[in-house]
Amino acid sequence: MSENIGKIIGVNGNLLKVEFNTPVIQNEVAYACVGNGDLKLKAEVIRIRGNTAELQVFEDTVGLKIGDPVEFTGDLLSVELGPGLLTQVFDGLQNPLPRLAEECGFFLQRGKYLPALPRDTKWAYTPVANVGDTVTAGDTLGTIPEGMFDHCVMVPFGIRGKWTVESVVTAGEYTVEEVVAVLKDDKGNARECQIMQRWPIKMPIKAYAERLRPTESMASGLRTIDTFFPVAKGGTFCVPGPFGAGKTVLQQIMSRHAEVDIVIIAACGERAGEVVETLREFPELTDPRTGKSLMERTLIICNTSSMPVAAREASVYTGVTLAEYYRQMGLDVLLLADSTSRWAQALREMSGRLEEIPGEEAFPAYLESVIASFYERGGVVRLNNGETGSVTIGGTVSPAGGNFEEPVTQATLKVVGAFHGLSRARSDARRYPAIDPLDSWSKYPSVVELDKVAKARKMLRDGSEVGQMMKVVGEEGTSIDDFIQYMKSEYIDATYLQQNAFVETDAANSVERQKYVFDRLLKLVDTKMKFKDQGQARSFFQQLTQTCRDWNNSEFQSDEFNKIEEQMTKTLAEVSDYAE
């Protein structure tokens, strides 16, 4: 039992007020004992006033009462880092859910916590560092083959200054708790290094040489994103949209096709049904990059809306800490948080119980800084060995009624580099992905030249204006030139912005294909066309759109692809106006 024991003096939902005698620290982990102490509930210190600490409990607090003891551990809320994380499904506190289900059955039990990494598994460890080497935090001591990656066992991130390798183990099989190296500093202090290490989730890992500006585009296979609203490796983006507009599906498609090494999905309050779909599908999916199971490079953190509210906050930080860990190995990581609105709602609930002065819509006044500090943990870094690694963060936002003016969306827009706003109108019209091409934006470089993208976006805007006018005056009251402009914008929308996830060749497009098709599309819509009336124009564009969809469904540069392209050229020549 811990030597630092406090006493509950107040219970308000999952907020405890605890009186203590021995000092405690912010974000310290404690266990609230129910009754005689057989049941202990995990909690975190979130505020300290004098000799009173306020704790948020990550479980249902039924049974706790004034006078019950609270054991302070002296440790910060942390995660375990080491081999064995990939392919796993954790809850917000890094409990392995499959093993938890085996022990607890269908319903998870309160107060049941398991180590994230199995203690009995032996890993094939090969030392890299030699006796006498000088190392610093984050340097590689050895490697362990884990799936398709060489997992780096690193110098603990928390040490400061330079250390000398005093001893190393020989190559062999070791468990995560075994010591594989001993370090010594210039003062003679020794430090044992295990394969596994722990790190506080609220503290960024900064064991790198330099932080770099994101410049390289992260190809996602989605034409709308890569061409019009790109995301850079190490960048940040948000996907706000009303319920049912396709936020979760869009994230799942990105996780399959994005050009990254590791994908971490943090379901921080998403509906349980959608998470179950993810858990069922991912092990069955083939990774298009490797041909192996997609789960081999995926890690899922599952804290659904049916699980404890307080753990939503922990799940977000758990996810980003694991992402930073793999970044330290020189890997590119994509972290998808779904949905940050429910994380913010958990913050609002706890802020209310703390009786803090509320901000807009009762969210805490510090909401913007909390969201900013989360997204700032992404980025590209240069490691001590000269290699680079990145963490790209994408978060969905679920604003009530699709109102992008609400506080969580606005706070997120201030810190991200790309905005993929989903539209209810596009979703209802089955135009997927339902990213609004007029409202969305990106600060990152596109895979296509900027002037070409600007020209296409202008065509979409002009066509939208004509479409709005046509709702009033009808096609009959619209000039033929305006109507052609409208049909060209609809053609771009139907053939480039929309993709069919059920067709393999159209579900994800390579950068090379996107450049080629986009250039061909621009040449087509730049062509001056001549029609007798609106009916002929509509018939032509309907035929051309269907032909282009067949083109999207054909394999790039195949005989079928080239044949359809020739057919499109001939069709266009029939209506081209070459008169000066």
Binding-site members for ATP are 241-248
Residue 31 DSSP code = E
The identity of residue 329, as a single letter, is M
- 506 within 8 A of 500, measured Cβ to Cβ: yes
Dump strand ranges (E) for 51-95: 52-57, 69-76, 78-81, 89-90
- The residues near 536 (Cβ < 8 Å, ≥ 6 apart) are none
Pairing of strands 140-146, 163-168: unpaired
- 445 within 8 A of 225, measured Cβ to Cβ: no
Binding site membership: which residues? 241-248
| Main-chain dihedrals φ then ψ at residue 475, nearest 5 degrees | -65, -35
Cα-based distances in Å from 513 to 189, 226, 492, 554: 58, 11, 16, 11
Which tokens belong to 478? 């619209």
What is the residue whose two structure tokens read 């692809």? 561
- 220 within 8 A of 332, measured Cβ to Cβ: no
- Pick the closest to residue 406 from 430, 371, 356 (CA basis): 371
Which tokens belong to 289? 């990059």
Could you tell me which residues are beta bridge partners of residue 28? 76
Segment holding 238, helix H or strand E: strand 236-240
H helices, E strands: number in the chain: 15, 26
Q: CA 160, 166, 170, 175 torsion: positive or negative?
A: negative
Distance separating alpha carbons of residues 407 and 521, to the nearest angstrom = 39
- 501 within 8 A of 447, measured Cβ to Cβ: no
- Pick the closest to residue 542 from 553, 530, 534 (CA basis): 534
Number of Cβ within 10 Å of residue 450's Cβ equals: 9
CA 538 to chain centre: 41
- The residues near 236 (Cβ < 8 Å, ≥ 6 apart) are 375, 378, 392, 393, 394, 415, 416, 417, 418
- 84 within 8 A of 153, measured Cβ to Cβ: no
User: Helix axis angle, 480-492 relative to 534-552, nearest 10°?
Assistant: 10
Long-range contacts formed by 46-52: CB under 8 A, 24+ apart: 46/350, 46/354, 47/354, 48/24, 51/19, 51/20, 51/21, 52/9, 52/17, 52/18, 52/19, 52/20
- 151 within 8 A of 144, measured Cβ to Cβ: yes
The identity of residue 96, as a single letter, is P
